[in-house]
Structure 1
Amino acid sequence: MDEPQLLKPRYRTMWLGVLAGLASMMLAWTLHRMLAASQRLPGDTVFTDHSDSPMWLLIQLVDLAGGVAAGMAAAHWSQRWSWRAVAGVLAVLVMNGLMETPSSHDGFRMLMSFLASPVGLLLGACYYRHLERTRPEVHVPPVSIDHLQVPDTPYNEAVVVGALCFGYFILGSTIAVFSQGGTQAFSDNSLLAIVVLELMLGACALGVLYARGYPLRTLLPRPSWGGALIGAGLYMLTVGCNVLVTGFASDDLTQPVQRLLEGQRSMSALLLLSLVNGVYEEVFLLAFLQRGLRRLGGSNAVGVVLLVRMLYHTYQGPLGLLSVAFFGLVVGVYYWRSGRLFPVIVAHIVADVSALAS
């Protein structure tokens, strides 16, 4: 791997437009699933027509708005006045609509549900292309990376902070692997306990770094709408990698993950855990550890961080560990090449919300 560049200019291609459009649509699909799940009772496996409820109409509006955002994103990140990226996203939406379980028994409402996302996509793309025709093309300034001129982290400091932030979780995950009872299902209490523990350990780690004169401001990401979109794209890439493997997995491999998701969780606890955990892990794994070990070379720095990430996720079983490996490799390589932390945090938050809301 090469050293990350100081400045990386934004460019526009068809495939980047497709990725941006699908990333926007993935956020809408995640919210769609969360709203649809709120209409079903726990353990309910019988199809129930909720198309006469206000929630069903809200879901259609979410799909329409997601389509508009996807159309604008695909047009924004693809070549000027080109429709190829929009056509690619449209093909994916149509295929997804054909394979999706109908949300109503009524034919007209089924058609509404099928057309919401594609119609929104075309509206968003047409609006953005109209804006392009009414204004001249402007030069887009390069996007700076998050962290510049940060000193290398001494090995003893990396070990101390790494053990402080992740040692407890590695120990607990290892014990869960060899215990007969395994890991208990996630609940509101367990999620809030993780939040409190990560806030305490994070505060201690920052205190250690502050006492050693570490530039703490360099650990902060730079939020941006473009970074959020890239983060959604990173999440989609990891989902694609997982689908290629989990489609052939047996029930024995998926059982540990299913056991974790059997408990009932409130949306507030789920969102709080996802936000805190996403920031906590990526700040100390990537911004501190991987960046601090860059003198070892890209492969070694990414590999060390990937190993640590996998060690405290062993309780998820072989299949869950493989998913974590895919995610860690994708975001590790992206951060090494781009130096941008905020998209990785967004990808982590979306991944946690999607997993815990299922």
Structure 2
Amino acid sequence: MDEPQSLKPRYRTMWLGMLAGLASMTLAWTLHRMLEASQRLPGDTVFTDHSDSPMWLLIQVVDLAGGLAAGMAAAHWSQRWSWRAVAGILAVLVVNGMMATPSSRDAFRMLLSMLASPVGLLLGASYYRYRERTQPDVHVLPARVDHAQVPDTPYSEAAVVVALSFGYFILGSTIAVVSQSSAQAFSDNSLLAIVVLELMLGACALGVLYARGYPLRTLLPRPSWSGALIGAALYMLTVGCNVLFTGFASDDLTQPVQRLLEGQRSMGALLLLSLVNGVYEEVFLMAFLQRGLRRLGGSNAVGVVLLVRMLYHTYQGPLGLLAVAIFGLVVGIYYWRSGRLFPVIVAHIVADVWALAS
């Protein structure tokens, strides 16, 4: 990754184009699966050809519309007239189509279902690129970052703050893995205990930074509606990546995560934990650690933060750890490119709420 100058992002890049396009396709895929599931009886594992029904035709329209939206979104957020983001999304669609279960026994209808999303993608991108070529070049100001010109963090200071913020959780997670003890299900009491602990540890870490003269105000995000939408798109992208990489996981790998979610939790405790935990983790991981280590270069800074994030999530088992790694990589690259913290926090809060409420 190229090192940004003073954390000033590029307004339109291939990666933002792929992010926007894949987020649009993930929404379409979610609706596709909901409509497809409505045609099956509970517990039915036998393939039934519904390609002669109106619902099947509606699903193809949804795929085509999702492709159109993805193509226009990818073209809008990638470089002017560039097709690289569209090509990347097209490759994902081709791989997904090759692995997907056929929707019909008829060869023509099966081909139609496989081409709906790719054709929509190319049509949407072509339409947007045509509009660009018929319009004069417009100078676009770079997107505003949360904070610029923040001093680099000394290694000793980074180690102390990481130890205070995440050392307890890393130790507990490591002991759980080494001792192979069964994970306890989340409950209201355990969620509230995590909230209190994070508030206490966060206060200690901020106290250390304040004593060392760190500009604490630069750790605060700048809320905005656009940031909330981008955060939702980031979460949808991580969902799509998880489906792509963990769709063939065995049941044995899912057991550690499932045991954690077996307990009863109230919505109040769930929302409180999600809010505090999302802000706590991303402030210290992104705004403090990754930004403070930017002199190491993008790959190293993102990699160090990803390692720390994974170390205190090892108790979730292989599948849970893979999901954490995917999330950390997506938001880490986004924050490195954009410098905006609020969308990352929103994505984390949404991910926690969805996971704990399921």
Give the TM-score of the pair, scaled to structure 2: 0.66
Structure 1 position 235 matched with structure 2 position 234: no
Which runs of 5 or more residues in structure 2 are unaligned?
35-42, 45-65, 101-124
* 1:77, distance to aligned residue in structure 2 (A): 4.0
Secondary structure at the aligned position of 1:8 is classed as coil
CA distance in 1, matches of 2:204, 2:69: 39
**Alpha carbons 2:278, 2:345 under 8 Å: kept:** yes
Which amino acid counterpart does residue 172 of structure 2 have in structure 1? G
Instruction: Return closer, same or farther for 1:67/1:3 CA change in 2, 3 Å cut-off.
Output: closer
Counterpart for residue 307 of structure 1: 307
Conserved in 2, the CA contact under 8 Å of 1:25 and 1:70?
A: yes
CA-to-aligned-CA distance 1:249-269 (integer Å, 9 cap, x gap): 222222111111222333333
Indicate whether 1:350 and 2:353 are aligned: no
1:143 aligns with: 143
Q: Answer whether contact 1:335 1:341 (CA < 8 A) is retained.
A: yes
Give the C-alpha shift of residue 25 in structure 1. 6.8
Deviation at 1:170, TM superposition (A): 1.3
| Cα 1:355/1:327, change in 2 over 3 Å | same
After the TM superposition, which residues 1-358 of structure 1 pair with which residues of structure 2 at under 5 Å, given as runs?
A: 1-6=1-6, 7-11=8-12, 19-20=19-20, 22-23=22-23, 26=26, 77=77, 139-179=139-179, 181-186=181-186, 188-190=187-189, 192-212=191-211, 213-222=213-222, 223=224, 224-225=226-227, 227-228=230-231, 230-232=233-235, 234-236=237-239, 238-240=241-243, 243=245, 246-358=246-358
The count of corresponding residues between Structure 1 and Structure 2 is 352
- Opposite residue 204 of structure 1, the aligned amino acid is A
In 2, Cα distance between the equivalents of 1:298 and 1:17?
19
The CA deviation at 1:283 is 0.9
Q: Structure 2 CA distance, aligned partners of 1:338 and 1:159? A: 25
Distance 1:136 1:209, change over 3 A: farther
CA 1:78–1:311: 2 relative to 1, 3 Å: closer
Q: CA deviation at 1:209?
A: 4.0
Q: Percent sequence identity over matched residues?
A: 73
User: Does 198-207 or 346-355 show the bigger shift?
Assistant: 198-207
1:215 CA drift (Å): 0.5
Deviations 1:119-143 (A, max 9, x none): xxxxxx9xx99x99xx998543211
What residue number does 1:113 align with? none
CA RMSD of aligned residues (A): 5.6
> Structure 2: which amino acid aligns with 1:249?
A
CA contact (8 A) 2:195 2:276 kept: no
Q: Is the 8 A contact 1:23 1:236 kept in 2?
A: no
Q: Give the CA deviation at 1:214.
A: 0.6
